[in-house]
Amino acid sequence: MTNRPDDDAFVRRVRDAYAPPPLSAAQRTRFDAALEERIARERWRFAPWAAAALAGGAAALLVLSRLGPLATPPEVADETTPEEEYVLALAGGADEFEAALPVEYRAIAGMIDGE
């Protein structure tokens, strides 16, 4: 009700004449389907952000896992390997270089040199 009875009657006439047609069962079903589709679209719209966050996290883990061994000091071997001895011999001079050669190489070298 309004302040005046004639206002009340006027409002009632407007309300009756300007009434939305009710939703039919088919319209309700269509409405629900469209709403479901809209919400599903919104989920997809936000999905790339979640995927990007996951990818970022995975990349960060990968980088950290690769940085981990580099960050630790390299292990020092107790014994030198043959390759290392060869390099050390090269650095030490010709005699040591000869001595560092395998026996077979030294025999061939002696035959060539006429020893």
Partner 1 sequence: MTNEDRDVEPVARPGVDDVGLDSVAGGFARVDLGREQRFAEFVTAHRERAVGLAWRLVGGDRAAAEDVAQEAFARAWRGLDRFREQAQLSTWFYRVLVNEANRFLRWRWVRQRFGGEMPDEPPDARGPGAGDPLLRGRIARALAGLSRGQREAFVLVHLEGMRITDAAAVTGRAEGTIKSQLHRALAALRAELADLDPEREDSPR
Binding span for partner 1 by CB under 8 A among 14-22, 48-56, 70-78, 106-114: 14-22
Binding span for partner 1 by CB under 8 A among 24-32, 58-66, 72-80, 96-104: 24-32
In this structure, what DSSP letter does residue 4 have? Answer: S
Tokens representing residue 81 in the block: 């390997």
User: Considering beta carbons, is residue 23 or 99 the nearer one to partner 1?
Assistant: 23
Enumerate residues 49-88 that contact partner 1 by CB under 8 A: none
Contacts of 96 (CB under 8 A, 6+ apart): 89
Is residue 16 exposed (0-12), middle (13-18) or buried (19+ Cβ within 10 Å)?
A: exposed
User: Considering beta carbons, is residue 16 or 83 the nearer one to partner 1?
Assistant: 16
Cβ atoms 1, 8 nearer than 8 A: yes
Among 25, 26, 39, 77, the residue binding partner 1 under the rule CB under 8 A is 39
- Distance separating alpha carbons of residues 23 and 89, to the nearest angstrom: 95
Among 16, 75, 79, 115, the residue binding partner 1 under the rule CB under 8 A is 16
Q: Which residues bind partner 1 (CB under 8 A)?
A: 1-3, 6-23, 28, 31-32, 34-35, 38-39, 42
